[in-house]
Amino acid sequence: MTRSTLPLAASDLHIMDGTRRNSTLICAPVVADSVDQMLVQMGKAKEVGADLVELRVDFLKNFSPRQDLSVLIKQSPLPTLVTYRPAWEGGQYKGDDKQRQDALRVAMDLGADFIDVELKVADEFYNSIQGRKPEKVKIIVSSHNYEKTPSAEEIGDLVARIQATGADIVKIATTGLDITDSARVFQVLAHSQVPMIGLVMGEKGLISRVLSAKYGAFLTFGTIEAGVVSAPGQPTVRDLLDLYNFRLIGADTKVHGVIGNPIGHSKIPHLYNAAFRSINFNGIYLPLLVDNVANFIDTYNSPDFVGYSYTIPHDDAGIKCCDEIDPNAKEIGAISCMIRNPADGKLKGYNMDYLGAIAAIEEGLQALNGSSNGSGSPLAGKLFVVIGAGGAGKALAYGGKQKGARVVVANRTYDKAKALANKVGGEAITLAELENFHPEEGMVLANTTPVGMKPRIDQTPLSKNALKNYSLVFDAIHTPKWTRLLQEAQESGAAVVSGTEMFLNQAFVQVEKFSGSPAPKQLIRDVLARNA
């Protein structure tokens, strides 16, 4: 059986137009405890752009199969998938399984487009219907693993077992313990000869839900509202369509992303995906929750995985995975961006942090002084204190040295501060010493640590009392835009520069490096303003 023989091909739904590059459908789970609430949610599912709805009838209280399914199926504004998930497969139903299967047979009789039957009872279910099934109805036979993602070979064997039941569509859902788990599902999806749904649950499996369109999955799931999920890690329908440009993903779409941990707070995908769409670049940009950078790079080594940005805590790790390093990044000793050469597949590392941050600080100093410092940098001759000796700290210290500043590195671990200070001809102190560090007036401070980043917005790397010694304070954090450090610096009389400006400058350069086209700068600024 091929996908073209199934109902709900994209062409049947009149959505395969010039703006669509895949036939993967978006299914919105409907989870509510009453039929009336489900009807409301189905209307919302259509409004937000779903292609079909999954009626999770195991969530209904006082469920009366024939009566309730008749209303739900007949009044649904979208095609329906009926799922009555038992507790032993992660659902809500805890009753007699014969009654549960009876309800699924009723759903078929009443005109559901799809029903979901668990592999454990699939043979029993097929024996009970004895081949009597409305032509319109297609049976999804599913298997859910809530503990891990098996090997590709084991997943392949599982697909074969599901096919052997007579399933119209195969569904495999596993649990992501690492972002590389999705690669095994992609491998099976890409080679599947039957319509297949392959998903990895959990935050580390988000990549599987979005890139399902690239690898030819029959459908993916998106929630109607944020947080109201039927399985862990589901994005919203709106995010799939508007943030990730889901309809534009094709088999040849180039994959980019920001590597970090945590990463769910990042606004970078909003900017880059909007920019890619604006300039008609066939690429997608994802948040990549990575534990081990080398493992990630080794696993996703195909020519289509082409570009990455690096953030905390992986600022330093990326450089070890490069085949080649830009001279400035080599001097700094850290990269913020990595790009795969299409000719030979080699990965080259760049550092954009120092460009974005130093430009933002210079603009802040110029505004503070009322004019530029002739043809030189307003940082020249300034005492420039950098908090942190990680990737961003190295970039700022290097940038300060390049501009003629006298660099002081303050870090929790003195040895790391000393190593960086020696590299840029500067001075090293501990964070404890920084509290009373005041050799002169008009100093410039740059925080490159995650202290104060969302969700720990009540934290700050330096007391308000110490901030009165600085003329300008920069914070590399951009979520939130106004950190406690910046607020207290402003109250102490210092000029402040948000990490947002560094963030924007980086975005302009990286979009151009990833796409080969000029960045739509105003669009990027507007998107960030909307998502701040």
pTM of the model: 0.87
Indicate the class that CATH gives domain 268-350+516-531.
alpha beta
- For 82, 108, 198, 504, the CA distances from 126, given in Å and listed in that order, are 16, 13, 22, 57
The gap between the terminal CA atoms of the chain, to the nearest Å, is 47
Q: What is the pLDDT of residue 374?
A: 60
Name residues of the chain where pLDDT drops below 50. Answer: 1-5, 7, 9-17
Same fold, 25-251 and 268-350+516-531: no
**Domain ranges within the chain, ordered by starting residue:** 25-251, 268-350+516-531, 370-497
Q: What span, in angstroms and rounded, lies between the C-alpha atoms of 6 and 200? A: 24
Indicate the class that CATH gives domain 25-251.
alpha beta
Q: What is the pLDDT of residue 115?
A: 98
Q: What is the pLDDT of residue 233?
A: 86
Q: What are phi and psi of 481, to 5 degrees?
A: -65, -45
Residue 439 sits at the vertex; the CA angle it makes with 434 and 444, to the nearest 5 degrees, is: 70
C-beta neighbour count of 438 within 10 angstroms? 12
Q: Which residue has the tokens 């990463």?
A: 263
274: which 2 tokens? 């909007």
The CATH number that domain 370-497 falls under is 3.40.50.720
Q: What is the pLDDT of residue 345?
A: 96
Q: CA torsion 413→414→415→416, rounded to 10°? A: 60
Select from 206, 185, 207 the least CA-distant residue to 197. Answer: 185
Q: What is the pLDDT of residue 156?
A: 97
Helix/strand/coil (H, E, C) string of 275-301?
HHHHCCCCEEEEEEECCCHHHHHHHCC
Q: What is the pLDDT of residue 315?
A: 75
Which amino acid, 210? V
- For 312, 438, 494, the CA distances from 442, given in Å and listed in that order, are 29, 10, 9
| Cβ atoms of residues 193 and 164 within 8 Å | no
Handedness of CA 204, 210, 211, 217 (dihedral sign): positive
| Cβ atoms of residues 429 and 403 within 8 Å | no
Q: What is the pLDDT of residue 167?
A: 97
Q: What span, in angstroms and rounded, lies between the C-alpha atoms of 46 and 480? A: 33
